[in-house]
Every structure is written in C-alpha cells, then in structure tokens.
Amino acid sequence: MTPAVRVSGLEKRYGSVHALRGVDLDIQPGEFFALLGPNGAGKTTLISILAGLTRATSGQVQVMGHDVVRDYRAARVKLGVVPQELVFDPFFTVRETLRFQSGYFGLGRNDDWIDELLDNLGLTGKADANMRRLSGGMKRRVLVAQALVHKPPVIVLDEPTAGVDVELRQSLWAFIRRLNREGHTILLTTHYLDEAEALCHRVAMLKEGRVVALDRTEALLDNADERMLELRLETDELPPALAARLSGRAGDVYRFALRDFAEAEPLLGSLREAGIRILDMSVRQTDLEEVFIRIMAKGT
Amino acid sequence: MTGFRTLFVKEIIRFWKVAFQTVMAPVLTALLYLLIFAHVLDEHVEVYPGVSYTAFLMPGLVMMSVLQNAFANSSSSLIQSKITGNIVFVLLPPLSYLEFFAAYLLAAMARGLMVGLGVLLAGFLFTDLTLAHPGWILVFAVLSSAAFACIGIMAGIWADKFDHMAGIQNFVIVPLTFLSGVFYSIHSLPAFWQTVSHYNPVFYMIDGFRHGFHDVSDVSPVHALAVILPVTLVLCALSLQMLRSGYKLRP
C-alpha cells in the first residue's frame, strides 16, 4: 500500500544550521500520527518541506505517492495544513476566505462543503464576519476549515491547540477524530503529550533533526517498563527478599517497579506471608511525557 | 485556471475594498499636482509649440500615477502577506509560479491603469486633451504598468520589513518617476542631465505615452518602445525566475 506520507533521507540545512539530519518516516493511510520533539528539533521544518513551504537540501518527501517537488500539484491537492501561527487575511470575511481557498485548489463552486465545514466547526453564525472580528479560538477554527476546503486525505496539524481553551480543544479533537475515523490520515505536532497519547496510533520523536524514537504509542509506553506500585505499609522494615526489590521509599510509602501487572500479586502475597498490613495502595503508570523526557535526555 | 482566476480576483477585491486609499487618494494627489503646477506655470511655460503646460503635464501625471500604483499594489500586497504570515494561504495550494506571477501582475496593472484612468478623466475637466494616437497611449500604459508591477513583485518578495519597502519606494521609485520628464521636457535640462535621463527607462515610458496625446515628444515613440519592450520583458523574466527559484518565499 502506498504510504500517506513517505519521508526518505531528508536533510535540511539553513546556512550552518543542520535542521534535519537524514529523517526516514512512513505514515500509513488512516493513521493518527504524532510528531513530537522539543523546540528546534526540526518538526516545523519537516512539515514545511512536506507542505512545499521549504525546500529540502536533499532527500525526498511524498504525499500519497506524489513527490512534493516534482509532482507538487498532485501532492498539494492531497494535503491540508493547519499552520501553527494564527494567521488570517484582514481584508476578508470567513466565507470569502474559504471561497478563495477553495478557488486556489481549483474548486469554483464549493459552497455546500463550506457550509458543512462552517456548521461542523461552529462557525455558521460568523460566516459573514470579518476575520479581524473573530476571537483567537474562532480564527483557529477558520484555519482548520481552510485546510479542509479541498477534502484532503492527509491533514497536518502543527500545534493546533496552542493557546486554545479547554472547550474548543475538546470540540476540535472530536472533529479531528471523526475525520480520522472517516479515513483521513492525521499528522499532529503538539507540545501537549497527553493529547498525543490519547489520540495517536504511532509516535515519532525528533531530536536535533533526527528521529530518536518511532513506534506505536502503546509500545513506547510498554517499553518504558515503568509501572510503579506504591504501598503504604504498617512496618518499619521489609524482609530481605522484599527489600531487594524496593525501588524507593518515602516514610511509610514503599515503591516497587513492575515490568508487568502480573508481578503485583506475588509481591502482595509475600507481604501477606510476612504479616505486613497494607494500609493503602496505588499503581502509577508511565505516561508519554515521562517516556519523552527519558528519550530526550539520552544522547542522539 | 481556477487557481489563477481566484488569486487575481482576490487581489482585485483586496485593493477595491480600500479604494479610498488605493484609487481615490492617488487620483486626488495627481490632481493637486495638476492644480498647483498648472496654476503657477501655465501662463509662463510652453514646452512644445501649441501645447499648454497643463496639457503637457497631464500625460506625465497620468503615467506617474499608473507606475506608482502598479508598483504599490503588488509590493504592498506581498509584503503585507509575508509580514502577517497569510502568504501561506497562497503557497500551500497547487498554484504554479506562472499563475502566481500572472495574478499579481495583472491585478497590479489593473490598479495602476484604473488610477491612471481616474486621473485622466478628472484631467479633462482642467484642460482640452487630444488623443492623437490612442494605440500608443494604450501600448505605453500597458507595458509601463507591467514593468512597475514586476518591480513591485520583486520588491515585495525581497523586502523583509516595511522599512525595506519604504526605502525602495522613496529612493528608487519616486526619483525614477520624478526625474523622467513628468513636469518638464528633458530638452530643458543641462546636457549632462539630458544624458542621464536617457538612461532612465521611465523617461521613455512618459515620452512615448505623451506622444500618444500630443503627437510630439522628445524621442520617437518607436525609439521609446524599443527601450520599454525589452525592459519590461527582462523585468518579467527576473520576477518569474525569482518565483521559480522560491527565493525567500520557499526557502
């Protein structure tokens, strides 16, 4: 199957700055894919090359099998991009903005789909308002609508929820999830790792222009190998066999690292056999943020 | 074609929505020049035999308005889009560099010619203008507006801030248009400045355009056309090359 996005050996230099250092990446059709990394890791450069806004120094990028340079028309028709910056044209209304954007993509009459987009994004009442009069959240919704006017199979969202309130964030994600269910491929960059964890099937982490992790979200979390069983115990000292397994202690709270939940029951059994009462118990699972911090802390 | 047509229409609506600033104001400015210079000099200056100073001045003012507004349209649209970031909306779609160029070029020409027409129509109130050679008038208006629309496109792509644009406007465009025979015949200049004026393409634009009205000019219209046509073609080629290479727009 042709990947929705294929990135091969991608390099980008800005003078002496080496923004991308040989990135390889395939995103399959229908995936909800997260591209994570600290500021300056190369996420926006990668997306800019994908969208034709920046030219690669070497390497190739394809959208639905179309090279973004040689076959740029076909590639751009397949791609919708929600830019990171809250940009708008102050001369026009919401509807004019969407009509022009449709026209640029070769769609002369697109009002039915524009009306549907306006409705889905809660913009119907603002259709004839000038862009300048919209709140930041509303402008963000128009950016999403602009990216979707030509019904692209691949949608790129570059930090779409930065500075967006909780309500809009929820409704935005509900809409994007629906698009993903309907078959659109979604490529997301975000600094909110809980969003990536909740939404994305696969995650790539970029650091200093290189992919340092690329896996299914669940696999990344599993590989982190860090479920922590926290027990408040009525004892001052553990038997030697249990003490050897201890990961940490704070007062009467004892922490045991587990590779698997199945390890919990034998541990609890050992405590019962030793006659130690359990006063409280909780399990803390590693989240994507911890995985991210750990991977970023490693050398490339 | 839909992409090109949409971008062209968008560019037209963009300036038309602020027509007071982009069309009416330049017409008024040109008329103020006409009022003051014509009032002060009409009785005292005769550049060509049988042509009043006001009648002499009119085509120059029309052409100056055409040039300055063609430049202003493409340059201001591009620099504003770049600085506000909304240029991304025309860079993301599948528009070719030719479509991009043609849309900005034609919209800028439209504004230049619209302002020029406004000045011309208002000028008829002040003086009896004859249209000796409408064909020459049209040829020089179209080619000259295209040339300055191209300069505007290149300046808009090159400039990173409004200060850069103001620099080009004040140190290139205004001197080129003012030192080109709008207000005088270059034959009234000292020999050295006459020679310098012959290296200014705007002189040929205005001189050829003026010939279309009065059937008299400093150089023949064919000579002027022989200068302006290649200049315009070179400026078009340079603009296209700039867009094709992605210079500053797709770094």
| Preferred mutation among B1, B9, B10, B81 to probe A, highest tally of A CBs within 10 A | B10
pLDDT of residue A261: 77
pLDDT of residue A225: 60
CB hemisphere CA count around A269 (13 angstroms): 5
Query: What is the distance between the alpha carbons of residues A66 and A75, in angstroms, rounded to a whole number?
Result: 5
Q: Say if residue A298's pLDDT is above 80.
A: no
Task: Give the mean model confidence (pLDDT) for residues A171-182.
Answer: 91
Q: How far is B151 from chain A (nearest CA, A)?
A: 23
Nearest CA in chain A to B4: A104
Alpha helices for chain A (secondary structure H): 43-50, 72-77, 94-104, 111-120, 136-148, 166-181, 193-199, 217-223, 240-243, 264-273, 288-297
Query: What is the distance between the alpha carbons of residues B65 and B154, in angstroms, rounded to a whole number?
Result: 19
A181 band by pLDDT with thresholds 50, 70 and 90: very high
In a domain, B123, yes or no: yes
Structure tokens at A138: 């509303």
Domains and CATH numbers, chain A: 5-221 (3.40.50.300), 226-297 (3.30.70)
CB hemisphere CA count around A100 (13 angstroms): 24
pLDDT of residue B144: 97
In a domain, B239, yes or no: yes
Q: Say if residue A300's pLDDT is above 70.
A: no
Q: Does A106 touch chain B (CB under 8 A)?
A: yes
A224 band by pLDDT with thresholds 50, 70 and 90: low
In a domain, B143, yes or no: yes
pLDDT of residue B147: 98
In a domain, B250, yes or no: no
Nearest CA in chain A to B18: A91
CB neighbour list of residue B126: distance below 8 Å, 6 or more residues apart? B34, B35, B38, B54, B58
Query: What is the distance between the alpha carbons of residues A185 and A2, in angstroms, rounded to a whole number?
Result: 13
Q: Is B40 in a helix, a strand, or coil?
A: helix
B10 interaction partners in chain A (CB closer than 8 Å): 100, 103
Segment B207-247, tens digit of pLDDT: 999 999 999 888 999 999 999 999 999 999 999 999 999 99
Its domain, for residue B130, covers 2-245
Task: Give the mean model confidence (pLDDT) for residues B45-71.
Answer: 87
B2–A106 CB contact, under 8 Å: yes
pLDDT of residue A246: 85
In a domain, B198, yes or no: yes
The complex's ipTM? Answer: 0.89
- Kindly report the average pLDDT of chain A as a whole number: 89
In a domain, B221, yes or no: yes
Least confident of A34-43, A57-66, B221-230: A34-43
B6–A81 CB contact, under 8 Å: no
pLDDT of residue A216: 83
B86–A73 CB contact, under 8 Å: no
Q: Say if residue B59's pLDDT is above 70.
A: yes
Query: What is the distance between the alpha carbons of residues A106 and A115, in angstroms, rounded to a whole number?
Result: 18
A55–B2 CB contact, under 8 Å: no
- Kindly report the average pLDDT of chain B as a whole number: 92
pLDDT of residue A248: 82
Task: Decide which of B110 and B39 is more confident.
Answer: B110
Percentage of chain B beyond pLDDT 70 is: 98
Segment B135-147, tens digit of pLDDT: 999 999 999 999 9
In a domain, B167, yes or no: yes
B94–A73 CB contact, under 8 Å: yes
pLDDT of residue A87: 93
A287 band by pLDDT with thresholds 50, 70 and 90: confident
B250–A54 CB contact, under 8 Å: yes
pLDDT of residue B52: 83
In the stretch 117-176 of chain A, residues with CB closer than 8 A to chain B read: 146
Q: Say if residue B175's pLDDT is above 90.
A: no
In a domain, B49, yes or no: yes
pLDDT of residue A291: 75
A193 band by pLDDT with thresholds 50, 70 and 90: confident
In the structure, how many helices (H) and strands (E) does chain A have?
Answer: 11, 14
Count of domains observed in chain B: 1
Task: Give the mean model confidence (pLDDT) for residues A256-272.
Answer: 84
**What single-letter DSSP state applies at residue B96?**
-
